[in-house]
Structure 1
Amino acid sequence: MLRSSYPVLCAGDVAASAEFYREHFGFEATFESDWYVSLRHPATSSELAILDPTHESMPAGYGTVARGVLVNLELDDVDAVAARLEAAGVPVVQSLRSEPFGQRHIIVRDPGGVLVDVITEIAPSPEFLAAFRRDA
């Protein structure tokens, strides 16, 4: 039986990436070394980890920094968080906007190059409302 699931993001500067998630989103370290940091959010128990891609635990040929990864973080007030991220100089990849599929969001980049989609759910348009499963 599955006990947990969480992303492990490869980053060239593990400490900087871990600090990004602590400072801007309130994650706390549950394990910390120079090559791996495990993070958990105290309010939701959501987890993620940061790994040095050159560490010996990585299979040969896979020691690259994360690319093509989008981490979604759903929050209560994306507008306030977006203003705080922009004021802190966090690189914005996509400006704050509302989507017809039911999200208001901003996409930023963490120090390791991973895209972070910061989201608040909003009512979807009628065309997208039909795509949502009522029993889910």
Structure 2
Amino acid sequence: MSEQTPLHRTTSPFSAIRAIDYTVIFVRDMVAMRRFYQDLLGFSLLRELSPNWIEYRVGGNTLALARPSRTAGDTPTPSGSASLQLAFKVSAPEVELCADELVRQGVALLSPPTDQPFGHRTLFFRDPDGNLLEVFAEI
């Protein structure tokens, strides 16, 4: 009786992944989050599958706002805690324009437009659920 040798894979099947197709933000306050991403940031509504799942087109990707349900029975992230950080890339002059618009809309900036030593101009702020958002440009 011969011993069977386990198959050793030389590459991961996940190496076939070429892009992030969509990102889901689990929300606490859908009304405030929708107003923020759609009205304030001006993201284009892609589709609304239900009041608990709304998708926006952001460049070549989809950003979905969702209330946890089928696959995630997790308790909501406590208020005051960020669940994620999203970074949105723009041109260098647009960083300042975005900062001005956020301030005009009453959004507090965590960090004003700042040139970083690693070659980015960054701007940080939070969405209504407390997630950390960044607008940046390569400089």
The CA distance in 2 between the partners of 1:14 and 1:31, in whole Å, is 15
Unaligned runs of 5+ in 2: 1-15
8 A Cα contact 1:10 1:112, kept in partner:
no
- Greater shift, 78-87 or 6-15, is seen at 6-15
Corresponding residue for residue 64 of structure 2? 49
The CA distance in 1 between the partners of 2:29 and 2:83, in whole Å, is 18
Corresponding residue for residue 59 of structure 1? 72
Question: Which of 13, 26, 32 is matched with 2:29 structurally?
Answer: 13
Note closer, same or farther for the CA distance 1:28–1:78 as it changes in structure 2 (3 Å cut). same
The CA distance in 1 between the partners of 2:54 and 2:43, in whole Å, is 11
Unaligned runs of 5+ in 1: 123-136
Q: What one-letter code is carried by the residue in structure 2 that aligns with 1:57?
A: R
The answer to whether the aligner puts 1:99 opposite 2:120 as a matched pair is no
Q: RMSD in angstroms over aligned alpha carbons?
A: 2.0
Using the size of structure 2 for normalisation, the TM-score is: 0.73
Note closer, same or farther for the CA distance 1:22–1:85 as it changes in structure 2 (3 Å cut). same
The CA distance in 2 between the partners of 1:31 and 1:81, in whole Å, is 25
Corresponding residue for residue 126 of structure 1? none
The answer to whether the aligner puts 1:31 opposite 2:43 as a matched pair is no
Give the Å deviation of 1:16.
1.9
| Number of aligned residues | 117
4+ runs of 1 displaced by more than 4 Å?
1-4
Using the size of structure 1 for normalisation, the TM-score is: 0.74
8 A Cα contact 2:20 2:61, kept in partner:
no
Give the Å deviation of 1:19.
2.3
Larger Rg: 2
The answer to whether the aligner puts 1:80 opposite 2:97 as a matched pair is yes
Identity %: 26
Give the Å deviation of 1:4.
4.8
Corresponding residue for residue 136 of structure 2? 119
Corresponding residue for residue 40 of structure 1? 57
